[in-house]
């Protein structure tokens, strides 16, 4: 904690130094430009006085002042008037000096602005890196705390069930009920282990091997695996899965993404959960396949719709999560990561009180028979 505060203070000192340097540079440029302009104007005025003095003090110059003095004072204009010879500063020379002063000022401003931009860009990158490091540290702490809690709960339950099964007077009906609960806890542990391992695989997109597959058939397999959960939760499922559509995707990754969306739809919806699974083509010439999961849950606030795809993030943190909701906050992160690695994307349409629709969009491969 102390080292992080020290780094933050050092960064603030560095930023204040940059801003002070920029302010001093602007003041210096303004003064330097004024000094250059005043010096050059003063030089012209000095040449004017010098030429007038020579004209008065040297008789030879009075016969042909233009020919004698003009080569030595190119920035002066000699005009004969009724009262005598008038020596003036050439307006073109003064304009050239002012133009040069303006050019020098612009040059210094551009150079100073360029280096200031580089410094501010570097400071911004340091700040962004610091914020990301802090966010990652917090996410990791939340992940470790959440995973530790999620592992401890079923392990403690399994330990208690095991001790209960050792009791000889336990009735067969109670024994069967306990074994059923133990199976649920084991499945929960397996799912958590698979998610943690899937995160490491998701960080290496080359681990995915997209092939042409039938998404309707894959979806029916996932639904068959989740059928006991749907029955136990009393969930109502409506599916629209037309046959003959093909998609380019990695089969395990797509199955995991669809399973995560279905589990979220069940867990976050009030019982009995109503879930709709649909598949259809869209886009120009039907180049995309949309596999959508729609629920009638509480919906997701707009401020959280982007954050839910971050690793370790869960909707309703800090005591606002619905009771009975478990997980480490990796499911939707894996969905987004894997879909993007397969050349697709995930979309969310939701509003508070109106449910949520998660769509998996992947490039269509071909139709059956093509």
Residue 71 CA, chain-centre distance (Å), reads 67
- Does the structure show a pLDDT above 80 at 115? no
Cis peptide before 191 (omega within 30 of 0): no
How would you label 12-36 residue by residue, b for 16+ Cβ within 10 Å and e otherwise?
A: eeebeeeeeebeebeeebeeebeee
pTM for the whole thing?
A: 0.53
> What is the average per-residue pLDDT within 330-336?
79
Among 243, 151, 225, which Cα is nearest to 195's?
151
Q: For residues 370 and 368, what is the distance between their CA atoms, to the nearest angstrom? A: 6
Q: Per residue in 151-161, pLDDT tens?
A: 777 788 888 88
Mean pLDDT of 178-193: 79
pLDDT of 349 over the 50 cut: yes
Element (H, E) at 275: strand 274-282
- Sequence spans of domains, the chain: 2-134, 141-202, 210-367
When pLDDT is cut at 50, 70 and 90, the band that residue 1 belongs to is low
- CA angle, 257 as apex, 344 and 206 as ends, to 5°? 60
- For 248: left if phi > 0, alpha if psi spans -120 to 50, otherwise beta; the answer is beta
- Assigned CATH topology for domain 210-367: Heat Shock Protein 90 (3.30.565)
Residues 281-292 have a mean pLDDT of 80
DSSP 289: E
- Name beta bridge partners: 11: none
Between 313 and 171, name the one with better pLDDT: 171
Q: Give bridge partners of residue 289 from the DSSP assignment.
A: 281, 362
For residues 249 and 218, give the distance between their C-alpha atoms in angstroms, rounded to a whole number: 11
Q: How far apart are CA 27 and CA 33, in angstroms?
A: 10
User: Picking from 181-185, 284-288, 332-336, which range would have the lowest pLDDT averaged per residue?
Assistant: 284-288
Q: What is the three-class DSSP state of 237?
A: strand
Give every CB contact of residue 179 below 8 A, 6+ residues apart in sequence.
165
Between the alpha carbon of residue 300 and those of residues 153, 161, 257, 308, the distances in Å are 27, 37, 19, 9
Angle, to 10 degrees, between the axis of helix 251-267 and the axis of helix 331-341?
150
Residues linked to residue 238 through DSSP beta bridges, in sequence order: 276
Share of the chain above pLDDT 90, in %: 3
Euclidean distance between the first and the last CA atom of the chain, given in angstroms as a whole number: 63
Question: pLDDT, tens digit, for every residue of 12-31?
Answer: 787 788 778 777 777 777 77
């Amino acid at each position: 904690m102390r080292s992080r505060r020290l780094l933050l203070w050092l960064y603030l000192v560095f930023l204040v130094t940059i801003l002070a340097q920029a302010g001093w540079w602007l003041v210096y440029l303004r003064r330097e430009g004024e000094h250059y302009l005043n010096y050059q104007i003063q030089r012209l005025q000095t040449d004017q006085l010098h030429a007038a003095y020579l004209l008065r003090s040297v008789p030879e110059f009075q016969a042909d002042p233009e020919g004698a003095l003009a080569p030595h004072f190119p920035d002066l204009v000699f005009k004969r008037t009724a009262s005598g010879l008038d020596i003036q500063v050439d307006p073109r020379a003064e304009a050239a000096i002012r133009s040069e002063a303006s050019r020098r000022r612009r040059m210094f401003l551009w150079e100073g602005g360029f280096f200031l931009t580089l410094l501010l860009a570097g400071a911004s990158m340091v700040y962004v890196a610091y914020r990301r490091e802090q966010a990652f540290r917090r996410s990791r702490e939340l992940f470790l705390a959440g995973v530790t809690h999620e592992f401890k709960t079923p392990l403690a339950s399994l330990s208690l069930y095991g001790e209960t099964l050792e009791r000889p007077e336990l009735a067969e009906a109670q024994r069967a009920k306990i074994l059923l609960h133990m199976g649920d806890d084991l499945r929960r542990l397996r799912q958590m282990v698979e998610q943690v391992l899937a995160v490491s695989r998701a960080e290496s997109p080359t681990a995915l091997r997209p092939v042409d597959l039938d998404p309707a058939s894959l979806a029916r397999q996932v639904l068959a695996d989740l059928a006991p959960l749907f029955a136990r939760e009393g969930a109502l499922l409506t599916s629209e899965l037309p046959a003959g559509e093909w998609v380019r995707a990695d089969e395990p990754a797509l199955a995991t993404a669809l399973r995560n969306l279905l589990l979220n739809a069940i867990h976050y919806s009030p019982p009995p959960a109503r879930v709709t699974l649909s598949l259809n083509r869209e886009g120009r010439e039907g180049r995309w396949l949309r596999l959508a999961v729609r629920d009638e849950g509480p919906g997701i606030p707009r401020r959280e719709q982007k954050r839910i795809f971050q690793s370790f993030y869960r909707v309703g943190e800090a005591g606002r999560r619905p009771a009975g909701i478990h997980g480490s906050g990796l499911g939707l992160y894996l969905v987004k990561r894997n879909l993007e690695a397969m050349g697709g994307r995930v979309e969310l349409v939701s509003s508070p009180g109106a449910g949520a629709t998660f769509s998996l969009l992947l490039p269509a491969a071909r139709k059956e028979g093509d």
